[in-house]
Amino acid sequence: MTHDAALSYAHPPALSQADEEALTDLYIRGTPANTLRAYERDLIYVTAWKRAVYDQDLTWPESDVVALRFVLDHARDLGDANQQDPARAAAEGLIRQGLRKTLACPAPATLDRRIASWRAFHRMRNLDSPFDAPILRQARAKARRAAARAPAPKSEHPITREVLNAMLATCGYSLRDLRDSALLMLGWASGGRRRSEITGLRREDVSLKDFESEGLVWITILETKTTAKGKTPRLVLKGRAARSLVHWINMAEIIDGPLFRPISKSDNPLDRALSPDAVYQIVKRRLQLAGYDEGFASPHGLRSGFLTQAALDGAPLQAAMRLSLHRSMAQAQKYYDDVDVADNPATDLLG
């Protein structure tokens, strides 16, 4: 390899403005919507952090010094820092902007995600990322180990069948009630769907061809967090979950477009799709109406509750995973382990 070729290999050629825009557009079209939202939130945070620390906008590529400072500032508890500490002052500014909750050391997963987003924006521009430098890799590894903690559950409690039934009992006969009932049952009974998967469903993704004869409703999800676009297997609803969904479709007269929609004050469905945050609000409201604290569970409780109930009912793990679409058996097994350990006879040895 010639010297010039070696330099070219070490430093990717700069893209033209047109190529940069085309590459960015390709990333946007080829990246799941929820990932794009995470990218956007992280870019806002990183931009605000650099302005607070350096009073400068982001540069592309970013310098190793700035990247290292970002890791170091997010690898310690700033509540213990001196009031004049620049990192603490920056963090307090981010708290005032609503971009950070506390001065506590962020979870390693949060730091990793923000760095991953920052790196992704470098890739979009065909630029080397400063986080690939050996000193940054080592600093990240040390930060991850120093801040290691038990992962917090995404939902405080699983929404098991008992909890779900209590939530469904709060649903009456208005269109809003019918929608909430169908949404909760689909989200739970189809394997514990994520919010973005629920709100991304369209009427065209629901097949009723076997409903009259067999009571089955087939659902096609374009993509999930663990499956590629167009590679997600069809899911099935049966029993009251299938009947609830069909009733919602018929009563709301949904012929095409978004499956789950906002309801107007006059109890009419709107044309647009529900947002993922609306699913959070529905779960929160139904829990409160059922007598639970609003923080009892989050929408992820539909997912954890499905797997927990499958374990309680003795359903094989592989059967539950065919609906939940977990890619990792070890991850899905955790829900079964939490149930099995309570029935382990060794826990009764003391009497």
CA-wise closest residue to 58 among 109, 125, 142: 125
Percent over 70 (pLDDT), the chain: 85
Dig out the tokens for 161 from the structure: 């069948």
Judge whether residue 68 has pLDDT over 80.
yes
pLDDT higher at 334 or 138:
138
Which tokens go with 12? 């990717």
pLDDT at 282: 94
CA angle 300, 211, 205 (to 5 degrees): 50
Neighbours of 231 (CB within 10 A): 10
Contact 282, 195 (CB under 8 A): no
The two tokens of residue 49 are 């952090």
**Contact between residue 216 and residue 238 where contact means Cβ atoms under 8 Å apart:** yes
Which residues, including other chains, have CB under 8 Å from residue 283's CB and lie 6 or more apart? 159, 167, 184, 297, 298, 299, 301, 302
Q: In a 3-state reduction of DSSP, which class is residue 207?
A: strand
The chain-wide mean pLDDT, for the chain, equals 83
pLDDT digits (tens, 9 = 90+) for 208-256: 999 999 999 999 887 665 555 556 678 889 999 999 999 999 999 999 9
Residues of the chain with CATH 1.10.443.10: 161-344
Q: Cα–Cα distance between 240 and 168 in angstroms, integer? A: 11
The tally of CA atoms less than 13 A away on the side-chain side of residue 152 is 10
The phi and psi torsions of 236 (rounded to 5 degrees) equal: -130, 145
Q: What is the 3-state secondary structure (H, E, C) of 313-335?
A: CCCCHHHHHHHHCCCCHHHHHHH
6 vs 88, higher pLDDT: 88
Quick check: helix, strand or coil at residue 303? Answer: helix
Q: Give the type of residue at 255.
A: I
In single-letter form, the type of residue at position 279 comes to: V
Q: How much is the pLDDT for 183?
A: 97
Give the closest residue to 36 by CA, choosing from 46, 44, 28. Answer: 28
Select, from the ranges 271-275, 308-312, 341-345, the one with the highest average predicted confidence (pLDDT). 271-275
| pLDDT tens, position by position, 73-84 | 888 888 888 888
Q: State the pLDDT at residue 187.
A: 93
What would the pLDDT profile of 46-66 be if each residue is shown by its tens digit? 999 999 999 999 888 999 999
Q: If you write DSSP's letter for every residue of 279-302 in order, what string do you get?
A: HHHHHHHHHHHTT--TTS--THHH
**What's the pLDDT tens digit per position in 187-196?**
999 888 888 8
Banded pLDDT at 141 (limits 50, 70, 90): confident
- Residue 2 sits at φ, ψ, to 5 deg, of -70, 165
Q: Is 175 helix (H, G, I), strand (E, B) or coil?
A: helix
Residue 133 pLDDT class (50, 70, 90 cuts): confident
Cα dihedral sign for 285, 288, 292, 295?
positive
pLDDT at 323: 84
Output the pLDDT for position 148: 64
**For the segment 162-174, what is each residue's pLDDT rounded down to a tens digit?**
999 999 999 999 9
d(CA 21, CA 30): 14
Can you say whether the dihedral through the CA atoms of 99, 49, 16, 10 is positive or negative? negative
pLDDT at residue 329 greater than cutoff 60: yes
SS percent in the chain: helix, strand, coil, step 5 = 55, 5, 40
Q: What angle do CA 189, 243, 173 make, to 5 degrees?
A: 105
Q: What is the mean pLDDT of residues 182-188?
A: 95
Q: What is the pLDDT of residues 115-124, one digit of tens each?
A: 888 988 888 7
The CATH T-level fold of domain 161-344 is hpI Integrase; Chain A (1.10.443)
CA 76, 82, 83: angle at the middle one, nearest 5?
115
Residue (of 203, 220, 198, 177) closest to 277 by Cα position? 198
Q: Residue 306: which H helix or E strand, with range? A: helix 300-312
Please list, in sequence order, all residues whose beta carbon lies within 8 angstroms of the beta carbon of residue 263, skipping any fewer than 6 positions away.
Answer: 174, 175, 176, 179, 269, 270
Give the pLDDT band of residue 40 (cuts 50, 70, 90). Answer: confident
pLDDT in tens, 81-106: 888 889 998 999 999 999 988 888 88
| Three-state DSSP state, 338 | helix
Q: What pLDDT score was predicted for residue 109?
A: 81
Which is more confidently placed, 214 or 347?
214
Q: What is the pLDDT of residue 340?
A: 56
pLDDT greater than 60 at residue 1: no
Q: In the predicted model, is pLDDT for residue 4 greater than 70?
A: no
Which residues touch 280 (CB under 8 Å, ≥6 apart)? 195, 298, 299
